[in-house]
Amino acid sequence: MKNTYSLFLLVFLLIGLAREACSQVSLVPSQPVDPSSSYHTIYKTTVHPSTSYTLSFPAEATSLALQTEASQVLNDVYILAGKDTFLLKEEVHARETNTTGKLTSTLVIFSKPVTSIKFLSGSLSGEVVVHLLNAGQAQLDTKAYRRSQETTDCMKPATISQNIWRTGLPAPAQLPEASQVAHIIVHHSATSNNVTDYTAAVRNIYLYHTQVNGWNDIGYNFLVAPDGTIFEGRDGRDQLEEDNVLGAHFCAKNRGTMGICMLGTFTSTAPTSKALEALVSLTSWKMQKENLNPLNSALHPLNNTSASLLNVLAGHRDGCNTECPGTATYALLPQLRLQVKSQMEACQEPLAQQITIYPQPASREVFINVANDQEIRACRIYDVTGKLHTMVAGKITTNQVRLDTHNLAAGMYILHVQLGDNTYFTHKLLVL
């Protein structure tokens, strides 16, 4: 009985203390303030630990991130906006690039634009920089950019290009860099699962990566929404295909990787079946394009001194210390690898009936013929380790290609054919 009374007294005292601690703080504009920027404003404020504050903004914000000294930690730091509560964590991607040298929080995307929030400072003490973002509205009908995913549909899935979803926001300043993809890395955005405007989510992530982290462009190559919509990430700027653009998403070791981000937080709940279907279709298409096997692992320079084996289809946490892509997504990876493999095989069967390869085995040369006057866009011969030996690229206007094989050592090779409709076909080729 005495213990119960003590507990009541303690709770009563704590409520009283919390009420005392709740106060309004003023936001001081950080210098210099760019008045032309309606999408990004930076403020500074000073906080005490374990204190509740109300922050009011002069204009609407659609998302927010905090930055503070690298020596601080984020424990029990909360943002309350409307009915939503957000627990802030450190964004490891931001530290990977070291552009700011600061601790940056994960992005908080509000369900609706807000002009004030409650802020529980938790472990934070001293100066905190508040980045307010306003991604505006794109008013995009994303349904128009989806098509039903059929097992026989082996072309690149429908996607929304950056110049469509980025409307009204500043373009990346620098041109993209190319990367030959050997690994696909799965992420989650660690943003609220209550966000239902997925275009807005992508626009906010774009602002966060470019404005707060100081990157040239959004970090990922693709972003997949819970309804199966696929947004293109890094912009190829008409110079590169977007799946070949070097991104910023994998432990500062991005070369050779393509990053796909599942929109939401998938720590305890898995992505929707529509999102997973879109992930499998996109991954199958890219792996067929690059002649990758989703069940394999391959060397990746994860540390500076040596290369390490990494699954061809991997999660962000396989590369460095992060929760990403969420435990629930990560647990699905073995199953997803098998689904990708079977979708790739299902795509090969109808193509196998249309393509003739002769003579087999080959000695000095090999001919590839495609039926129904389809166009052959490119042909490549890889050895079994994945090394490229022969390549005939560019537009070939005929449906027949001759490849010289007399320079190849005797052995087994992989013939890789790209057709005019951007489907890809692989076949074993024995050279004598």
**Which residues of the shown chain bind Zn ion in the complex (CB under 5 A)?**
187, 316, 324
Distance of CA 190 to the CA centre of its chain: 11
**Least distance from C-beta 324 to Zn ion, angstroms?**
3
Beta carbon nearer to Zn ion, 18 or 331:
331
Asked if residues 256 and 300 have their Cβ atoms less than 8 Å apart, the reply is: yes
The H-assigned helical ranges of 263-305 are 273-289
Beta carbon nearer to Zn ion, 146 or 316:
316
**Least distance from C-beta 248 to Zn ion, angstroms?**
11
Beta carbon nearer to Zn ion, 128 or 324:
324
Beta carbon nearer to Zn ion, 249 or 286:
249
**Least distance from C-beta 74 to Zn ion, angstroms?**
17
Distance of CA 88 to the CA centre of its chain: 20
Distance of CA 54 to the CA centre of its chain: 33
**Least distance from C-beta 391 to Zn ion, angstroms?**
33
**Least distance from C-beta 300 to Zn ion, angstroms?**
15
Beta carbon nearer to Zn ion, 282 or 324:
324
Residue 100 token pair: 């700011």
> Among all residues, whose Cβ is closest to Zn ion?
324
The answer for residues whose C-beta is within 8 angstroms of residue 401's C-beta and 6 or more apart is: 367, 368, 376, 379, 392
Minimal CA–CA distance to 79: which of 192, 3, 244? 192
**Least distance from C-beta 187 to Zn ion, angstroms?**
3
Minimal CA–CA distance to 217: which of 170, 161, 160? 170
Beta carbon nearer to Zn ion, 187 or 377:
187
Pairwise CA distance, residues 375 & 372, whole Å = 9
3-state secondary structure of 398: coil
